[in-house]
Chains A and B, each alone.
Chain A
């Protein structure tokens, strides 16, 4: 298996633009997690899915953030409109069981100018 795949690896955009981050989890994993990592706040869980259904989005910072998982092999995290304070590394992770080890993608480094 190729592991968790994320695209793009780097994204530079201007304030106000829409940003879409993509994730392909490991095949067979029932859980998918979106994280944000910054120096100030460390790793923050934004949202997680179980069998394509969003279970808890309490970590999503604002209504500008939305996430979808239309099928078991694809998820998106969208920011619209983007702001400079959204600049961070965004990770997608998947796991077989809820409390088990999570396998992380390489992350997307987002810079909002």
Chain B
């Protein structure tokens, strides 16, 4: 069964610095999707970034980028120039065409120090 592991329950970073959140997953599929969602205190679940496994290029969205290592089954999220508004829970998630379910990691709480 597919699993998603986020090994860092909590991370903290100084404002304006860079932080990397880790995510590993387990699957026997070759084609799948990976996502990072952000859940701020308002509890709204917001998509941060999306990666399709068949794409070699790492996805980037402004200050957010991923390091997708398919062979290692690793999908880390890098946040550059951290801002106070980045403080939130970050969830890594996995899905594949043969299964509708999003498989979620346990989440990493990101704290931004001013």
CA distance A91 to B47 in the complex (A): 14
Supposing A42-B104, A99-B33, A101-B50 touch, asked if A106 and B44 sit within 8 A by C-beta, the answer is yes
> What range describes how many residues of A lie at the interface?
20 to 34
Question: Are A106 and B50 in touch, CB under 8 angstroms?
Answer: no
Enumerate chain A residues within 8 angstroms of B100, measured Cβ to Cβ.
Answer: 31, 48, 55-56, 98-99
Supposing A31-B100, A89-B43, A104-B44 touch, asked if A99 and B95 sit within 8 A by C-beta, the answer is yes
CA distance A89 to B44 in the complex (A): 11
Query: Which residues does B use to contact A, with CB under 8 Å?
Result: 32-33, 35, 37, 42-47, 50, 91, 95-97, 99-102, 104, 106-107
Query: Which residues does A use to contact B, with CB under 8 Å?
Result: 31, 42-43, 45, 48, 55-56, 89, 91, 93, 98-104, 106-107, 109
